Amino acid sequence: EFVPLEMHKVRVVQKLNLLPVEERVKSIEGAGCNTFLLQNKDVFLDMLTDSGTNAMSDQQVAAMSVADDAYAGSASYEKLYNTIVDILGTEYFLPVHQGRAAEHIISQAFVTKDGVVPMNFHFTTTKAHIEYAGGSIDELFTDEALKIKSNHPFKGNMDIDKLKAKIATVGKENVPYVRMEAGTNLIGGQPFSIANMREVREVCDTNDLLIVLDISLIAENIYFIKTREEEFKDADIKTIIRAMCDLADVIYFSGRKVSCTRGGGIATKSKEHYLRMRDMVPLFEGFLTYGGMSVREIEAMAVGLQEILDMNMISQSPQFIKYLVDDLDAAGIPVVTPAGGLGAHLDAKQFLPHVPQLEYSAGALAVALYIISGIRGMERGTISMDRDADGNDVASEVELLRLAMPRRVFTLSQVKYVADRVKWLYKNRDLVGGLEFYDEPKVLRFFVGRLKPN
């Protein structure tokens, strides 16, 4: 049996509460059956997201205390800039307040009206920003991507034939750029290979197209390249990061994931692309040397980016996720395999076959798991899709409950508790029924929409 080992020790702790089950029922009712609306004090293990909830290292906290406060020209920014140049190999950098702010700026700069952005898979805020800028997305994943049970090492790969065909049909002049997402979030934190990205690059070169690369989940994608892609098994982490980033024209990230902090950024080698985006930073984010981040976050980000060069750091979250996924899989529970890099993803369609997708089975599973355990997961299914232009609900391609694994936060016994509770719920799944909206926002409804049992 594979057992992960914590390669760090705990020196600052936060006390947890485990409410009695009756209070958890009241709490989730008050939250409109939406785990985003729960109060964190009512949550035992917060597996909503790995975004901004990661443990920081002692080195990061130390750096925060020497941050150089300045509106303009802060030495902390200089440190971050040098780190970006060193690790990503780009020349220009634009700081932003978080990942979606980068998506906003990139979409406003590059997406044309009615332009189509091909990608390996969408992320919620990515899609929303591309559509907000007047374009649309097209997901060109491989046949393997949406299979729940798989042993494919790179489910995040782009289907190259589909990419060529798509460019031919819509015309390259209608493709603002091609987007690749490292550690493809919504299909279960699944990686793409460097071999695949090289092929994407070739197609883009032939058609004179840009590649925009989302590296919010790069640490885990790199871990999987090192452990699964033969060519890179002896390569050091920086070499692999460079191999990936060199293939992109514009790179962006959410610092909430990749550096265990807050904030985000856009990096590029091209002065032309940089200038196309630059003026939006002071307009929407803040001056060019902070972009909406505090100098303390900037210091911690610089250190956090350095730390992803350490295999003992980036292997932690994939190994704890693998432990949980393998344990659930062995118990016959429908969970996305192979284990990815963000969390464990339960397949609600198979977990709750008696709840129709349009009654939001993944949302219902999130509510049930919270009630029986105090664990907060995140619905990544039909609730996370917005309605189409005619107001119809759109059944999501995959109907998942995500149990995110914040980096270096939970111990192995906490992970075992999660496995135990999910197994109990699977045995008692007939208790779970569907949901319906009673308060439904038009855009990104999953964040604040409210539902009730139907």
> Residue numbers of the site for ligand F0G (CB under 6 A)?
49, 51, 98-100, 123, 125-126, 181, 185, 214, 216-217, 254, 256, 264
Single out the catalytic residue among 123, 224, 252, 437.
123
d(CA 372, CA 412): 20
**Which run of H or of E encompasses 436?**
strand 435-439
CB of 289 to ligand F0G, least distance (A): 20
Instruction: Answer yes or no: 110 catalytic.
Output: no
d(CA 101, CA 45): 28
Single out the catalytic residue among 53, 112, 124, 227.
124
Single out the catalytic residue among 42, 50, 159, 214.
214
Instruction: Answer yes or no: 192 catalytic.
Output: no
Q: How open is the CA angle 421-423-429, to the nearest 5 degrees?
A: 100
Instruction: Answer yes or no: 123 catalytic.
Output: yes
Instruction: Answer yes or no: 310 catalytic.
Output: no
Q: Which is nearer to ligand F0G, 214 or 399 (CB)?
A: 214
CB of 257 to ligand F0G, least distance (A): 6
Single out the catalytic residue among 127, 179, 380, 445.
380
Contacts of 206 (CB under 8 A, 6+ apart): none
Q: Which is nearer to ligand F0G, 214 or 359 (CB)?
A: 214
Instruction: Answer yes or no: 429 catalytic.
Output: no
d(CA 108, CA 276): 10
For residues 434 and 453, is the Cβ–Cβ distance under 8 A?
Answer: yes
d(CA 308, CA 322): 19
CB of 96 to ligand F0G, least distance (A): 9
Q: Which is nearer to ligand F0G, 108 or 174 (CB)?
A: 108
Q: Tell me which residue has its CB nearest to ligand F0G.
A: 99
Q: Which is nearer to ligand F0G, 193 or 216 (CB)?
A: 216
Contacts of 197 (CB under 8 A, 6+ apart): 158, 180, 244, 247
Instruction: Answer yes or no: 9 catalytic.
Output: no
CB of 217 to ligand F0G, least distance (A): 6
Single out the catalytic residue among 26, 71, 143, 438.
71
d(CA 444, CA 441): 7
Which of 342, 324, 320 minimizes the C-alpha distance to 216?
Answer: 342
CB of 207 to ligand F0G, least distance (A): 25
Q: Which is nearer to ligand F0G, 314 or 355 (CB)?
A: 314
Question: What ranges make up the beta strands (E) of 57-187?
Answer: 92-96, 116-119, 136-139, 178-181
Residue type, 51: S
Give catalytic residues, as residue numbers.
Answer: 71, 123-124, 214, 257, 380, 446
